[in-house]
Structure 1
Amino acid sequence: MNSSQEKIKKMMSYRWIIWGVLVLSYVIVFFHRLAIGVVREDLVETFGISGTTFANIGSTYFYAYMLMQIPSGILADTLGARKTVAIGTLMAGIGSILFGVAPNLLMVFLGRLLVGIGVSVVFISILKVQSRWFKESEFATMSGITSFVGNMGGAMAQTPLAIMVAYFTWRSTFTAIGVLSVLLAIVSYIVVRNNPKDMGLPTIEEIEGKDISSKKMENPPLLKSLYQALTNKYTWPGFFVFTGFFGAYVALTGTWGISYLVEVYNIEPSTAPNYFTVAVLGLAIGSIVIGRFSDRIKSRRLPMILFGGVYTLCWGIIVFVNGGKPPIAMLYPLFFILGFTCSTFVLGWACGKEVNHPAIAGISTSIVNIGGFLGGAVLPPILGWVFDTYGGQLEATVLFQKAFLYCFIFVAIGFVFTFLVKETNCKNIYNEIK
């Protein structure tokens, strides 16, 4: 084997090591995203907080994550994924430790804020690394696999977290996760490289024999890039689909779902997270299946309409069947299908990338990504307001039906926007629509 072949082999192997380290950071992202719902009773008991305050603690993560999406794209493009993920994961670790040892509510909010800011940079950085270390034809598949593995962190934030909290207390658990995050930040800095060239290895373009010298596109100026993506009307349908779909999903699986099962169905608090582990697994599997299905039939819009319709139907069942209390036998399959079809929003990232200039893929996908975290930040406190306002007046089933009606409205609005998605046939069409 000659030197050139050895370098190609090393590049094709080392990229998996880089991706593996980064995706571990992404597991931490999902863990923190959904963990707050499991420790609700512990926080209420420790700090004596109301439903609205609890929801605001959860939303702090999403506000931070949402506001950091465009800066995350800029950091990944300028500072590089290596330093961006290392610093972000370190900050998330410090935030988790602070959350775990917090002596008062202010420190709880500060810890949650640091976690949200820290983990917000991970996903966009992974997309950036994928664009440098993997073939273009592998991008959708790798994004689906990344989402699948990341969602395992969400699964950890359900039953496994409930078990850890029961044995080690919520404080010790979040402190330990923080220490693990700090160690992972160090590993990220040591292992990750932004580009094969950083290791003297051939790029994907060189391996594929592409003539990049004549096709090289310089990034437009930052403000011009941002303006270009923001003013492109086809960027926004994916944004609103993500807002409605993911906001409702988070409100159920990450904030109020455990309380719903305990108070409406009298399910034990230790057992209730099992139901949402199923939903998280559905989301993880759906991310891969729907992404591959979309690539295979070379359509974005049709899968979003089909699966989005089923997702809307799932929420209709939760809110309207049997007065807001579907038969308990339905819950496991219902939550799995709900999670599976919710993952329709992953196609929004591809749509955002495919309707904008190829050189600003980071910025265009980060704009779409803001939508989900806007929904995750806004919707849970709306439900918290319902619980605080009507909690002493309405029976539990009616109370949750009234609250979850807002989730259904968000989802229904998101579903309407699936019909406004610009069909790209799974290729960049910017030159055709500009």
Structure 2
Amino acid sequence: MSDRPEPWVGKAVAVWVTGLLVYVLAVFHRSSLAVAGLAASERFDISASQLATFTMLQLLVYALMQIPVGLAVDRVGPRRVLLTGLSLMTLGQLLFAVAESYPLAVLARVLVGSGDAMVFICVLRLVVSWFPPRRVPLFTQLTGMLGQLGAIVAAAPMTWALGTLGWTRAYAVAAGLGLVVGLAAFLLVRDSPQGRAAPAGRLDVRDLGRGLAESWRHPGTRLGFWIHFSTPFSANVLSMLWGYPFFVRGEGRTSAEAGLLLTIMVVAVMAAGPVLGWLVGRHPWHRSTMVLTILAAIVTVWTVVLAWPGEAPFGVLVLLVVVTGVGGPASVIGFDIGRTSNPPQRQSSATGVINQAGFYATLLLVVVIGLVLDWRTPEGSAYTQEAFRWAMASQYVLWTVGIVQILRYRVRTRRVVDRAALQAGATA
């Protein structure tokens, strides 16, 4: 028997790598504002709350578009939707480069968020279409892990570009990257080894609603939803907004130490992805158990930090960011459960349903932490350790809801799987 790889393997890797480049670029565009906050405040003459609106609105648009995008991928195929998303991101970054007013800048970030919302679902669909089922969990985790390179590229290189080239040229160059990657995607990406997806028939809203309802009705989709809801929000909140002030004001760390802790968390996210992908591929019947174990570890380490008398030691905070970071790759397990719970024609719809959960949880927690900090902080004073402990303790509400729902729907999912197995045995 020949040991040579199947003829489709090279094409599959080429399609995946190209889709991955689009996803890296999407993460880069999503993160490019993080290093430009002060420059944006000066350019648009806006307050801190208006600056935060950029990120909040971009995330909200991303979450709201997940279901429509999933339906679109199921109907017209991932290639068209991927190219559409890339075009919107490129247009949004170009508009952001030339915008001089706050409303126009907000519109630009909405376009970026809209395009970003289309990418990850498409790449996951390409993985499912091009690789054998046993390889899908690994390549799904690799996609999520390597996509974080976009955030790294958005840090130092974008900082250098803003300082050297100026606002307009820096963001114009960022937009230009979309043209290069878009050409590669146009030439190399195909929906499946069989070629282009079959053209969709007449749009029937009732059929779309029926398909979406069927996806949601399956307990596996709901299990995936609550896994994605419960696992990533803690890491997201730390990396996107509250991590730096929590470590500096809440735990008395220097700016350098806070930055190091957030960097360690990104490294943990990237390192955990392939490991979890391998474990899921080897032990598909224990996916929800893996998630519950990770959640128990996250809750435990947060409890240690918040209950520590005074400021927690630096080593304990390192443990916190490492364990919390693993929650990001753990959320991807929800997509794998959705994939195995739905037929091919509903998989992207199910992915869209699942993918919005973590973003809604993150948005809710970002707002709640801010409200609690304001509640526990005297007017005109800086945030205190006590205020941060109250604020970060609000995570327990979301963890409780999520864990209860995971336990609930994994029982229902197993019942459906057992019933299907019995019916298949009877038919055989």
- TM-score by structure 2 length? 0.82
CA distance in 2, matches of 1:432, 1:106: 56
May I ask how many residue pairs the two structures share in their alignment? 406
AA aligned to 2:123 is I
Q: 2:9 aligns with which of 8, 12, 16?
A: 12
SS of equivalent residue, structure 1 residue 381: helix
* Residues 263 and 28 of structure 1: CA distance in aligned 2, closer, same or farther (over 3 Å): farther
Q: Is 1:294–2:283 an aligned residue pair?
A: no
Q: Is 1:107–2:104 an aligned residue pair?
A: yes
Q: 1:419 aligns with which of 404, 407, 412?
A: 407
* Residues 99 and 272 of structure 1: CA distance in aligned 2, closer, same or farther (over 3 Å): farther
CA distance in 1, matches of 2:93, 2:362: 19
SS of equivalent residue, structure 2 residue 194: helix
Contact 2:62 2:117 in 1 (8 A): yes
1:308 corresponds in structure 2 to 295
Query: Shift of residue 432 of structure 1?
Result: 5.5
SS of equivalent residue, structure 2 residue 24: helix
Query: Shift of residue 322 of structure 1?
Result: 3.9
- TM-score by structure 1 length? 0.81
Query: Shift of residue 58 of structure 1?
Result: 0.9
SS of equivalent residue, structure 1 residue 60: helix
Q: Is 1:256–2:245 an aligned residue pair?
A: no
Query: Shift of residue 260 of structure 1?
Result: 3.4
2:232 corresponds in structure 1 to 246
CA distance in 2, matches of 1:318, 1:48: 38
CA distance in 2, matches of 1:386, 1:44: 25
* Residues 292 and 62 of structure 1: CA distance in aligned 2, closer, same or farther (over 3 Å): same
CA distance in 2, matches of 1:38, 1:414: 33
Contact 1:242 1:372 in 2 (8 A): yes
* Residues 89 and 235 of structure 1: CA distance in aligned 2, closer, same or farther (over 3 Å): same
2:362 corresponds in structure 1 to 376
Q: Is 1:351–2:348 an aligned residue pair?
A: no
Task: Give the % identical residues.
Answer: 23
* Residues 189 and 241 of structure 1: CA distance in aligned 2, closer, same or farther (over 3 Å): same
SS of equivalent residue, structure 1 residue 286: helix
Query: Shift of residue 50 of structure 1?
Result: 4.7
Query: Shift of residue 414 of structure 1?
Result: 2.6
AA aligned to 1:287 is G
The alignment yields a C-alpha RMSD, in angstroms, of: 3.3
Contact 1:141 1:292 in 2 (8 A): yes
* Residues 95 and 398 of structure 1: CA distance in aligned 2, closer, same or farther (over 3 Å): farther
Q: Is 1:145–2:133 an aligned residue pair?
A: no
SS of equivalent residue, structure 2 residue 308: helix
Contact 1:92 1:115 in 2 (8 A): yes
Could you tell me which runs of 5 or more consecutive residues in structure 1 were left unpaired when the two chains were aligned: 1-5, 200-219
Q: Deviations over 1:346-371 (max 9, x none)?
A: 11112223333454122112211110
2:153 corresponds in structure 1 to 156
* Residues 98 and 226 of structure 1: CA distance in aligned 2, closer, same or farther (over 3 Å): same
CA distance in 1, matches of 2:365, 2:36: 19
Contact 1:94 1:114 in 2 (8 A): yes
1:198 corresponds in structure 2 to 195
SS of equivalent residue, structure 1 residue 278: helix
Q: Is 1:406–2:388 an aligned residue pair?
A: no
2:202 corresponds in structure 1 to none
Contact 1:356 1:429 in 2 (8 A): no
Contact 2:230 2:398 in 1 (8 A): yes
Contact 1:312 1:415 in 2 (8 A): no
SS of equivalent residue, structure 1 residue 196: coil
CA distance in 1, matches of 2:159, 2:419: 47
Contact 1:152 1:280 in 2 (8 A): no
Could you tell me which runs of 5 or more consecutive residues in structure 2 were left unpaired when the two chains were aligned: 197-205, 424-428
SS of equivalent residue, structure 2 residue 232: helix
AA aligned to 1:415 is I
